[in-house]
Amino acid sequence: MNRTPGLFITFEGIDGAGKSSHIETLAAEFRSRGRTVVVTREPGGTALAEQLRSLALNAPMDALTEALLMFAARRDHLQQVIEPALARGDVVLCDRFTDATFAYQGHGRGFDQAVLSELERWVQTVPALPAGVLRQPDATLWFDLAPEVAAERLAGARVPDKFEAQPAEFFRRVAAGYAARAAADRGRFVRIAADQPRDRVWAALLQAVRSRGWLG
């Protein structure tokens, strides 16, 4: 539960699902209603976390190292950017967060989910929340797209990073991971069918945010 004045919305989905293109549009929607918006991403969002991103996305490493880098980046990002913004009452729109770690490192790489939960507990314990309550997004917009369609969209688009270069089977596991996370937390997750034309995806997203009373 978020007891701070701001609003924390994350965007999730497999590579190629098309989430990133909607983040700035949603930011503009909030700004036009007078809200201050911080648009950020994970891994990244601070100078240190961007350095960790570049390592995690490019250097070969084992799954534990990868998970530790993701959570290290997240800790810095929470402390430097997300928590101060939420305390000010800003809207934080974040391209990926912990669900990506469970989907990519947990389901994709097959890394121990109990260890990820433990790291989540360490990293997302913040002074603004009572003991035992972790910082979690108020809503997670999950762009759900079949891995085969996402792969077609990505093909030839740019030089793939370490994750984008993974085989189709990896993305099937990641997609299943997101579906499992969504099923386990239906209150937080909003499923956006990402196989529709862009304007339909946007309409669905806007409707989901409006229905929660966040855009007046």
Q: Is 143 in the site for ligand TYD (CB under 6 A)?
A: no
Q: Is 68 in the site for ligand TYD (CB under 6 A)?
A: no
Binding mask 38-67 for ligand TYD (x = CB under 6 A): ----xx-------------x----------
Q: Name the token pair of 152.
A: 């077609």
In one-letter notation, the amino acid at residue 71 is F
Residue 205 near residue 26, CB atoms below 8 Å: yes
Nearer to ligand TYD, 95 or 144 (CB): 95
Residue 186 CA, chain-centre distance (Å), reads 16
Q: Is 120 in the site for ligand TYD (CB under 6 A)?
A: no
Q: Is 92 in the site for ligand TYD (CB under 6 A)?
A: no
Q: Is 104 in the site for ligand TYD (CB under 6 A)?
A: yes
Q: Is 12 in the site for ligand TYD (CB under 6 A)?
A: no
Minimum separation from the CB atom of position 22 to ligand TYD (A) = 12
Q: Is 76 in the site for ligand TYD (CB under 6 A)?
A: no
Residues 43-58: b if buried by 16+ CB within 10 A, e if exposed? bbbbeebeebbeebee
Residue 15 near residue 52, CB atoms below 8 Å: no
β strands within 28-158, DSSP E: 37-41, 91-95, 139-144
Tell me phi and psi for residue 76, to 5 degrees.
Answer: -65, -45
Of the candidates 20, 21, 65, 207, which one interacts with ligand TYD according to CB under 6 A?
20
Contact set with ligand TYD (CB under 6 A): 15, 20, 42-43, 57, 70, 95-96, 100-101, 104-105, 163-164
